[in-house]
Amino acid sequence: MTVDELKTALADRDFPETVVIGPHQTVSNVPQFLRIQFIECELWKGDIEKCPAHIRLSSFYEAVKSI
């Protein structure tokens, strides 16, 4: 997904207080997590698919898409 598609998919949604993305990755402050990851994506100059923040956002989306 592109960053804009992720923004659209994740905007204005209610999320649980804590979201487990993987066995060693848990988001405990979802609004702050999303804000920071999107800022990092905007600042990334290389291939967006290689951006760590984009990878985290994609993993987050996969974890919450069925909620």
Tens-digit pLDDT profile for residues 22-58: 899 999 999 999 999 999 999 999 999 999 999 999 9
CA dihedral sign of residues 39, 54, 61, 16: negative
Q: Residue 41 is part of which domain span?
A: 3-64
Tell if the pTM clears 0.85, that is, is over it.
yes
**pLDDT confidence of residue 4:** 96
Query: Which position has the token pair 């702050």?
Result: 32
pLDDT at 66 over 90: no
The whole-angstrom separation of Cα 67 and Cα 16 is 9
**pLDDT confidence of residue 60:** 97
Compute the C-alpha angle 53/19/28, nearest 5°: 80
pLDDT band for position 67 (cuts 50, 70, 90): confident
Distance of CA 50 to the CA centre of its chain: 14
Per the structure, how many domains does the chain have?
1
The whole-angstrom separation of Cα 37 and Cα 51 is 10
